[in-house]
Structure 1
Amino acid sequence: MSLRLSTVVLPVRRWHEGGRDQWTRAEELGFHAAYTYDHLSWRTFRDGPWFGAVPTLTAAAAATRRMRLGTLVTSPNFRHPVTLAKELISLDDVSGGRITLGIGAGGNGFDATALGQEAWTPRERADRFAEFVPLLDRLLTEGAVTHEGTHYSAHEARNVPGCVQRPRLPFAVAATGPRGMRLAARHGQAWVTTGDPKLFETGTPEQSLAALREQLGKLGKACAEAGRDAGEPDKILLTGFTPEANGLLESVDAFVDFAGRHAELGFDEIVVHAPVPDSVFAADEAVFERIATEGIAQLER
C-alpha cells in the first residue's frame, strides 16, 4: 500500500518562538509535505496570532531542505492571480522547486469580507474560481499574459523566469461540486477534499466513506470528460473535518485504521494537523510524532 503522510502547520506561532521549530521538526519526522492555511484569520483562531501564508512558507523553505511545502488552501477571497503568480514563482525559487499550491473557491468566513466587500454567493465564488484557476495557470507557464475577463484582468503581466518546477508548480484543487471537479480534472495535478461537511457533527464513519467514494466517482467522471485518466491526479484527504476527526490522533492504531480505509478507497495522501494546544486541533504531541514515524510504516507491512 503506497500512501503519503503530510501535515498542516497552522501559522499561529511567532517564527522565533516555536514557529520555525515546527517546520524543521516536521521534516525531521519524515512528513512528505507540510502545508499551511492561506487565510487572513480562521474561525476560532480569529482573535489570536495568525501570520501570512506566503512569508511563512518562504521562511519554512529556507529552514528546510527536502520536504514539500504548500497551501491548503489559497482562494480568490483576497488573492488576485497576477500578484499571486509572482509570489508563487518567487516561493518556488526560494524552495528549490518544492511548492504545491492547494487552491479552492473559498468560503463565507472572515476572509470573504475583510477587504470591505460583501460576501460572494456560492455561485459568485464558483464563477470567480472558474476564471481564477485558468488565468493563474497561464501566468505560471507563459512569460507574458494579457487577459480581459469578467472578474480578473492582466495586462502584459510578465513572469520571467517562471517556476523552477516545469511547466509550473503543481496545483492541488479543492473541489466537491461539478464545476470545481472540472477544474481539478483540467488543471490539477492533485485533488483535495475534507469530506462531506454535512456529516462532520452527526454522521458516521461509514457515511463519510460513502460520501468520499461518491466524490471520487465524480472526479473520475470529470477526468473522463476532460480526456484524462482518472488515476492521474493525486487524491489528497485533509483530515479534521470527518466524523472520526476527534479520535484520529488519539493513538497510532486509530490513525492506521483510518488511513488504511481511506487508502483502500483510493487516496494517495493523508494530511493531519500538527497539534495546537487549547484548540480544535489539540492532540498529544508524542502520539502525533509516533503517527508520523510509525503510522505509514505499519500500513506498508
Structure 2
Amino acid sequence: MRFGLKVNPAGWDDASSWAAIAEEAGFDGLWTGDNLRNPRDPAIAVHDGPTIIAGWAATTRRIRVGLLIANLVFRHPTVLAKQATTLDHVSGGRFDLGIGSGVWPTDHGMAGTPIWTARERTERLAEFVAIVDRLLSGDVADHAGPYYPYSLAAMTPGTVQERLPLIIAANAPRALAVVAAHGDGWVTFPGAATEAEFYAKSVERVQALDAVLDGRRIRRLLLAYGQIDPWASEDGFARLVQRYQGIGFDELVVYAPKDHERAVFDKVAKRLDDYR
C-alpha cells in the first residue's frame, strides 16, 4: 500500500510545513486540490492548486507531487496539458495529474458556466482526458471535438517523465470506461455517502473497472474523507488500510489532520512502513 497526504493549505507556511512532514515521514505522494473557493464556506482560505504544486515541486526532493483533482470546469485541456508539463519540469519528473469533472455549483459559478447534465459531464470528461493524454504524448494535431476544439497546438518542451501519470476520478460506468481508455490510475472518494454505502459501491466499481480494463493493471487510489475517518485511532487506520486493500486499492490518500487529530497522525506517521 502506498500513502499520500492531501493538504489544502491556509498559506505557504502551512503548505511548506506539511511538505516537510510528509517527506520526513515517508509518504509517497503530496497532493492538493483544484477549487477556487471552499464550496461550503467562502471565508475559508483556498489557494490556487497548480501554484501550490509548483512551490512544492521546487522545494521538495523525493516525494511525488500532484493535483487531486484537476477540475475541468476551470480550463481548456490545452491549458492543463501545458501546466502539467511545466510542473513535471519543475519537479524533475515527480508530478502526477489527477483529472475530474467537478461537481460543486460553486465551481460552475466562479467559472461562469452552467451546471452540466450528468451525460454532458461524462462526455466532457471523455473528450478532455483524451486531449490531455494525446497532448502529453506529443500529438499536437488539430482537434475539432464538440466541447474543446483547438488548433496550432505545441507541446515544447515535452514531459520529463516518459509518460506523465493520469489519474482519473470516476464512479459511473461510462466514466470508468474513460479510466480504462486513458488512465494510469483511478481515484474515488465517498462524497456524502456513509462509509458502509461507499464500501459497498467501491466493491461494485472495482469489479466494473476490472471488467473494462481486461487484465490491465492501474493504480487504484482511495481519497479518504467525509465519513471515512483515518485519524480516529491507530487501530482504525490499520483497519481502513486492510479493508480497502482487500478489495483492490493500492494507494490511500488521507487529509492532513486537524489539531485534535494530530496525536494519532503523528503515531501513524512514525510507523508508516508497518502499514504497507
Query: TM class by shorter-chain length?
Result: over 0.9
Stretches of 4+ moved more than 6 A in 1? none
Q: Which residue of 2 aligns with 1:238?
A: 223
**What runs of 5+ residues in structure 2 fail to find an aligned partner?**
none
Q: Which residue of 2 aligns with 1:294?
A: 271
Q: Which residue of 2 aligns with 1:103?
A: 99
CA distance in 1, matches of 2:198, 2:220: 16
Q: Which residue of 1 aligns with 2:30?
A: 34
Tell me, yes or no, if the aligned pair for 1:9 and 1:34 is still in contact at 8 Å: yes
Tell me, yes or no, if the aligned pair for 1:237 and 1:271 is still in contact at 8 Å: yes
**What runs of 5+ residues in structure 1 fail to find an aligned partner?**
278-282
Residue 211 of structure 1 deviates from its aligned partner by 1.7
Q: Could you tell me which amino acid in structure 1 is paired with residue 238 of structure 2?
A: V
Tell me, yes or no, if the aligned pair for 1:7 and 1:31 is still in contact at 8 Å: yes
Residue 295 of structure 1 deviates from its aligned partner by 4.3
Change (3 A) 1:45 1:28: farther
Report the count of equivalent residues: 276
- Residues 1:65 and 2:50 are matched in the alignment: no
CA distance in 1, matches of 2:29, 2:218: 17
Residue 19 of structure 1 deviates from its aligned partner by 2.3
Q: Deviations over 1:120-175 (max 9, x none)?
A: 22222111111100011111111533111101012121001211111x31011110
CA distance in 2, matches of 1:213, 1:116: 36
SS class of match (1:129): helix
CA RMSD of aligned residues (A): 1.7
SS class of match (2:102): coil
**1:1-301 pair list within 5 angstroms:** 3-10=1-8, 12-15=9-12, 17-142=13-138, 144-166=140-162, 168-195=163-190, 197=191, 199-200=193-194, 205=196, 207-224=197-214, 229-230=215-216, 232-241=217-226, 243=227, 245-246=228-229, 248-277=230-259, 283-297=260-274, 299-300=275-276
Residue 178 of structure 1 deviates from its aligned partner by 1.2
Tell me, yes or no, if the aligned pair for 1:42 and 1:109 is still in contact at 8 Å: no
Report the TM-score when normalising by structure 1: 0.87
Report the TM-score when normalising by structure 2: 0.94
Residue 209 of structure 1 deviates from its aligned partner by 2.6
Q: Could you tell me which amino acid in structure 1 is paired with residue 221 of structure 2?
A: I
Q: Could you tell me which amino acid in structure 1 is paired with residue 49 of structure 2?
A: A
CA distance in 1, matches of 2:193, 2:80: 33
